[in-house]
Amino acid sequence: MDFEGAFLFWAALAVFIPLMLSVVIPAVYRTWVEYRSRIKALDVLRVYAEKGQEPPASVMGAIAAASIDRAAAAPVPAGPFSRPTRENHMAHVAGSLVCGLGAVGIAWWRMPDDGEPGPLVIWAVVAAIFFAGGVAARLVGVFTTPSGRPRDDR
């Protein structure tokens, strides 16, 4: 691998790895904390079940509060962070299509006629696959999410 290819490869890794870790680590930690709180709630219930007693209402309230999904139970705020609609999903589909097609164009443009593809081509193909997956996921949302527009029920 020549110097330019090696530089592109390591530069892409230097951006890609921290970016992915900054998304993955908080998600895994949040899932672990929720799991641990639910396991502790089950342990409390198990202790009462072993004693053959009914847990007090205050304990049941605390367990219920610990076991609910806070994101689902929270009221939906108005504005840009409200629940996605079909229009929201379609906007993401359009953006992902443009980015994916751009990555495919870069891969096509930089693909050598003979020999091995360089790191730029490989990263462009990876990006195109990523955006294609995003398009597929958002298309599922397009067909399963209600429209945000008010309906005329005449």
pLDDT 10s digits, 37-86: 888 888 888 999 999 999 888 888 888 877 665 555 555 555 565 667 78
Whether residue 98 contacts residue 52, with contact meaning beta carbons closer than 8 Å, is answered with: no
Element (H, E) at 33: helix 3-51
Domain final residue pick, 74, 104, 119: 74
Whether residue 79 contacts residue 111, with contact meaning beta carbons closer than 8 Å, is answered with: no
CA-based nearest residue to 107, from 126, 94, 91: 126
Q: Would residue 86 count as lying in a domain? A: yes
Q: What is the mean pLDDT of residues 86-97?
A: 86
Specify the pLDDT at position 154: 47
What tens digit of pLDDT does each residue of 20-34 get?
778 778 878 888 888
Whether residues 43 and 93 fall in one domain: no
Element (H, E) at 50: helix 3-51
Domain final residue pick, 56, 74, 92: 74
Whether residues 45 and 23 fall in one domain: yes
Whether residues 63 and 88 fall in one domain: no
Residues 128, 134, 136, 138, CA torsion sign: negative
Burial 102-140, CB ≥16 within 10 A → b, else e: ebbebbeeeeeeeeeebbbbbbbbebbeebbebbeebee
Whether residues 129 and 107 fall in one domain: yes
For the record, the structure tokens of 74 come out as 């929270």
pLDDT > 90: percent of the chain:
8
Give the span between the Cα atoms of 55 and 53, in whole angstroms.
6
Whether residues 35 and 23 fall in one domain: yes
Whether residues 15 and 55 fall in one domain: yes
Whether residues 15 and 66 fall in one domain: yes
Whether residues 117 and 96 fall in one domain: yes
Whether residue 133 contacts residue 99, with contact meaning beta carbons closer than 8 Å, is answered with: no
Whether residues 33 and 56 fall in one domain: yes
Domain final residue pick, 74, 104, 121: 74
Give the span between the Cα atoms of 128 and 125, in whole angstroms.
5
Whether residue 35 contacts residue 6, with contact meaning beta carbons closer than 8 Å, is answered with: no
- Asked whether the predicted pLDDT for residue 120 surpasses 60, the reply is yes
Whether residues 54 and 16 fall in one domain: yes
Q: What is the mean pLDDT of residues 95-123?
A: 86
Q: Would residue 19 count as lying in a domain? A: yes
Number of domains the chain is built from: 2
44: domain range? Answer: 11-74
